[in-house]
Amino acid sequence: MTVGTIRPGGRTARVRAAVLRAAGDALVEHGFDHLDLADVARRAEVGKTTVYRRWGTVAGLVADLLTDMAEQSLPRADTGSLIEDLRANARLVQRTLVDPRQGALFRAVIVAATCDPRAAEALHRFYAIRIAEWAPCVQQAVRRGELPSSTDPSEVIRAVSAPLYYRLLVSGDPIDEAVADRAAEAAAAAARAGVYTSTNSPN
Amino acid sequence: MTVGTIRPGGRTARVRAAVLRAAGDALVEHGFDHLDLADVARRAEVGKTTVYRRWGTVAGLVADLLTDMAEQSLPRADTGSLIEDLRANARLVQRTLVDPRQGALFRAVIVAATCDPRAAEALHRFYAIRIAEWAPCVQQAVRRGELPSSTDPSEVIRAVSAPLYYRLLVSGDPIDEAVADRAAEAAAAAARAGVYTSTNSPN
DNA sequence: CCATTAAAGGTACTCTAGTTCCGTTAGAGC
DNA sequence: GCTCTAACGGAACTAGAGTACCTTTAATGG
């Protein structure tokens, strides 16, 4: 065997999978702070040296967890109506954030992103992917003539999620279906009013 | 002197002020994680035992810092036009989040809130106060007939901030004046469309 | 199937965040 | 201005997160 060969197969991949799963569990239970890499190693039935060598810090581990999460994506809706599509998106986000496990996970990775550049990079890529996945439903609405032609699709999708994350992280207000629906309606109303057109350069 | 007297005056208050200022500086420099209470004590020229005794944990200290921040509030705008008032609010938030010191501080306290119940409580009270301070400009717009009568003022104010915080914490996209203005316009458009009316109970 | 060596595992160690203990300082009441 | 004690300060101590070092396992290429 030649020198310098990388060995991603078999054991290495198995260890990574076990550690990431354990990291998710530990994050949900203890949160981003109070997260002990030795505890993660124990849960994953893996040497703690391995965890420290491969991931180094809690933030590094979370960054890898996010990269892994970005790979599994959910299909977007396509109902033929902008408001219905946006509502579907808003409710998907709402259910995710309200879910005890998923919600805690998202909080944890967002926290990690504010502490570590790699985690931040992974988080931003994650949302860039998610937003790009849903942008087509705005583009279709433009083609159908529901929205101004120069509407920025990403901006509309971001506008749907923003109020939900604001509640999760900032105001702490409850995130129910009514809130999700209002977020979708608000984004649609603003888009229709031309707020998200690229020609709209406010003084 | 009687047993059980509390002594908030003089030294105690001085120590608190010095520690909170030092905590702010340290948060801005190192962030919420990597924050060492011994370091805060050193900066404040105070015994580290004192810091541990009075605040216990990093999260506890940040919670107190937030309580202190909530007390100093900025006056709201009153231009006589909804969109102008909302724009003023959006730009105020934008400048705060973009400012190196303030931005880092806000990130830190939001992170602290996801880790500690007391910090969360303090954060939610902080934003409840800020939102209540700005709600009157929506109420006036309602009185002027710019918005439907049953519009929820708090919801409009939240809608202005949400996209900015979303960028700060989630997507990592830049937060410039144009973004702030768009946030204000979007909130105004949605409000005018009746999205934030209490009678709007989406299926 | 065998040789080679990434990558994992175990143990002993270090270093520092957080605690304990006790002596000192200074604010509140008379 | 004297007393009492809440609150602060310093130093020694403890625990556990993170590191270093060396051994063992198993993936890869021939």
Query: What burial class does residue A68 get, using C-beta atoms within 10 Å of its C-beta: 0-12 exposed, 13-18 middle, 19+ buried?
Result: middle
**What are A5-51's pLDDT values in tens digits?**
665 667 899 999 999 999 999 999 998 989 999 999 999 999 999 99
Q: Gap from A61 CA to C16 C1', in Å?
A: 23
Rg of the Cα trace of chain A? 20
- pLDDT tens per residue across span B96-152: 999 999 999 999 999 999 988 999 999 999 999 999 999 999 999 999 999 999 999
At residue A203, the pLDDT reads: 40
Q: Is-contact B194 B123, C-beta < 8 A?
A: no
Name the one residue in this structure whose structure tokens are 């011994």: B38
Rounded CA separation A25/A65 (Å): 11
Per-residue pLDDT band at A202 (split at 50, 70, 90): very low
Contacts of A86 in chain B (CB under 8 A): none
B115/A34 Cβ within 8 A: yes
Q: How many helices (H) and strands (E) does chain B have?
A: 9, 0
The average pLDDT across A64-91 equals 92
Q: How far is the CA of A1 from the C1' of D30 (A)?
A: 7
* Mean pLDDT for chain A overall: 92
- A153-183 burial code (b ≥16 CB/10 A, e <16): bbbbbbbbbbbbbbbbbbbbbebeeebbbbb
| Per-residue confidence (pLDDT) for residue B203, from 0 to 100 | 40
Q: What are phi and psi of B146, to 5 degrees?
A: -75, -25
The per-residue pLDDT for A4 is: 54
User: What distance in Å separates the CA atoms of residue A127 and residue A70, rounded to the nearest whole number?
Assistant: 8
Structure tokens at A91: 């409710």
Cβ A1 to strand D below 7 Å: yes
Q: Which of A108, A177, A189 sits opposite B189 (nearest CB)?
A: A189
Q: Kindly report which listed range (A52-61, A155-164, B66-75) carries the lowest average pLDDT score.
A: B66-75
Q: What is the pLDDT of residue B70?
A: 87
SS3 call for B151: strand
* SS3 label, residue B143: helix
Strand C reaches within 7 A of the A61 CB: no
- Whole-angstrom distance, CA of residue B79 vs CA of residue B96: 21
CB B175 within 8 A of CB B152: no
Residue A6 CB in 7 A reach of strand C: yes
* pLDDT at residue number B202: 44
Q: Which nucleotide is nearest to B41 (CA to C1')?
A: D9
Hey, is B13 helix, strand or coil?
A: helix
Task: Quote the CA–CA distance of A177 and A91 in Å, as a whole number.
Answer: 6
- The pLDDT confidence band at residue A74, using thresholds 50, 70 and 90, is confident
Quick: pLDDT tens for A153-195. Answer: 999 999 999 999 999 999 999 999 999 999 999 999 999 999 9
Is the Cβ–Cβ distance between B111 and B165 less than 8 Å?
no
HEC secondary structure over chain A: CCCCCCCCCCHHHHHHHHHHHHHHHHHHHHCCCCCCHHHHHHHHCCCHHHHHHHHCCHHHHHHHHHHHHHHCCCCCCCCCCHHHHHHHHHHHHHHHHHCHHHHHHHHHHHHHHHHCHHHHHHHHHHHHHHHHHHHHHHHHHHHCCCCCCCECHHHHHHHHHHHHHHHHHHHCCCCCHHHHHHHHHHHHHHHHCCCCECCCCCC
Q: Which nucleotides of C are covered by protein (CB under 7 A)?
A: 3-11, 16-21, 26-30
Report the distance from CA of residue A62 to the C1' of nucleotide C27 in Å, as an integer. Answer: 49
